[in-house]
Amino acid sequence: MTRVLERPRTGPAAHALVIGAGDYPHLNGGVGPLTPDHEGMGQLGSPPVSARAICDWLGSEFHHSDKPLASVRLLLSDPTDQRYTAPGTATTHTVDRAEIGPVTTAVGEWFADGDTDEENLLLFYFCGHGIAQGTEYALLLSDFGRDPGNSLDGAVDFHKLHLGMGACKAARQCYFVDACRSSSDQLIATEGYAGRVLRQPRPRPRSLALLEAPIYYATLGGHEAYARTGQVSVFTDALLRGLCGLGADDAEGDWRVDTTTLQKALGFCMGLAFDAGGRRVQVPQSGSQSTFFLNYLDHDPQAPVLVGCDPDDAIAEADLSCTDRNGAVISQRPPSGLPEPAYWRVDLPAGRYEFEASFPGGGRRSRQKSATVRPVYRRITLEVSS
C-alpha cells in the first residue's frame, strides 16, 4: 500500500509522491551485509519523520483553489514502524518500503494520475541518502547495496526521472529533494549510471503546454544535507515553514505561496538555521524557476523578525519588546548580557508592530521603531545612542 490519502476529484488536481528512506540494511549499522559501495554512509533517523511530516501537511494544510489535493502516495523505510495515519482519517496504513520495486510502481501510478489532465499539479518529495557527480544524481533507496555487484540498482536516477516526467501531461510539477549531493566516485566509475531509469526521457508531446518543473535541492552540488536524528530535517523544516506561510505573498489580494517566494523563504530559513549553531550553511538551489502557485493560505502568515541594535553590542544590555497597534506587549526579551546572537528573533503574524530597545541599566537612550512584518522576514535595526 502506498496511497495513504485519496480524495476523488473531477478536473485538475494535485497528486503527491513522498519517499522517506531511513533504514538502509546494506549501509553501516544496517542489518544486512555491508555493501562495498557504502562510502561511509549509515542509517538515517530523520527521513521517515520528515516524510510523515510532509504527508501530514499535505493532508491538513495544503490548499489550492484550482488544484485540490487528490492523492498522496507514501513510501517509508523506517526500522521500527511502517505505519501511517493520514490527518483527519481513522485508517492506519502499513506503507510499502522505500525500495526500488515499490518506488517504481508508485512512480508509474503517480505519472498516470498526472497524465489525466494538463492542469494537474504533481509534487515529489524525497528524503534519504543521495550521491552526486556533475549532472548525475542518484537517490538511494533502502535496498541500495542489496546486490553488491550493482549497488545502484537500489537507486533512482533522479535526473532522468525529472526528464522522463516531461512526457506527463501535468504541466506543473515541483520536486523537493532533501538529500546529500556528496560527490561520489561511484558515478564516475559507472560513467553516469546513476540508478534505475524509472521514466525514459522523451520529447514532450507537441500538444501539451509548456512544462514547468522546478527542483528544490537541500544543498548545492557536492555538499551534504543535514538532519537532526529522529527529527524533521533542516531542509524539510524550512520547506514546511515556507509552504505554511513564510513563502507567501499577497500581490493577488490573498496570501499565496508560489515557487519563487518559496525559494526565498528556503534560503532565509536555511541560513538562519545554520547561523544558529549548525555546522555549515546549506544553500537551497532550484534548477528551472518558473513561477506558479503552490499553496493558498486561509490566514495571515507568520513571519520572523530579527531585531538588532546599532551598535551591535548594545543588544547585550537591551530590554527588547514588541507591541501591537493597541499597545499590548506581544513579546519581550530581557537583557541577555551576551553580544551573540546579534539579533533577537520573534515570529509574528503579518501586521504592523512597534519595536523598542530600552536600557534598564542606563547608559543608552531607548529607541523605538515601527515596522510592518510580512514574509519572508524583516530585519529591524534600532539605532541606540549613548
Partner 1 sequence: MSKLEIALDTWLAAGEVAQGVVARVRRLAAPDGSRVRGERPHTLVLPAGAGGARSLDVEGPGRYLVEATLPSGHVLSEEVDLTPDTPDARVELASAPVVGHSPHEWLSWQHLTGKIRPASAPRPAPPRSPEPMEDAGRTVIAGAGASGRPEPEESTTAVSAFRTRALTEPVLALRGGLPHGAEAWPILAEAMAPERDLASVLSASETLPELGAATGSVASDEDVALYRVDSGPGRRSYAVVETPDGAELATLPLPWQQIHTGQHCPLELLVRKHSLDAGFRTSVSVLDPDVGTALAYMENGDFHDARDIFEIAREMLYYKITNPLAAAAGGYMLLATAGREAKTDWHDWIHNLLDWFEPIPDGAVLYGTLLLRRGGDDEALVTAREAFVTAFERGLPYYSLGVTWLLEGLSIFGADDDNIAAKARAVRRVALAVNMDEAFTVVRFPARTLGAAA
Binding-site ranges for partner 1 (CB under 8 A): 133-136, 159-160, 163, 171, 182-183, 187-188, 191-192, 200-212, 220-224, 250-254, 260, 263-264, 267-268, 271, 280, 283-292, 308, 310, 352, 370-372, 374, 376-379, 381
Place of cell 535526473: 159
Nearer to partner 1, 94 or 135 (CB): 135
Min CB(310)–partner 1 separation in Å: 6
Nearer to partner 1, 14 or 49 (CB): 14
Nearer to partner 1, 6 or 252 (CB): 252
The secondary structure element, H or E, covering residue 125 is strand 121-133
CA distances from 327 to 323, 324, 352 (A): 5, 5, 11
In this structure, what are the phi and psi dihedrals at residue 354, rounded to the nearest 5 degrees? Answer: -115, 130
Min CB(163)–partner 1 separation in Å: 6
Under a CB-based contact definition with an 8 Å cutoff, are residues 22 and 43 in contact? yes
What is the C-alpha to C-alpha distance for residues 170 and 160, in angstroms, rounded to an integer?
17
Place of cell 498526472: 114
Min CB(14)–partner 1 separation in Å: 17
137's grid cell: 544524481
Under a CB-based contact definition with an 8 Å cutoff, are residues 27 and 44 in contact? no
Q: List 133's β-bridge partners, or say none.
A: 136
Min CB(290)–partner 1 separation in Å: 4
Q: Which residues of 265-281 are buried (b: 16+ CB within 10 A; e: fewer)?
A: bbbbbbbbbbeeeeeee
Question: Which amino acid is it at 159?
Answer: H
What is the C-alpha to C-alpha distance for residues 190 and 157, in angstroms, rounded to an integer?
12
Min CB(202)–partner 1 separation in Å: 6
Min CB(32)–partner 1 separation in Å: 28
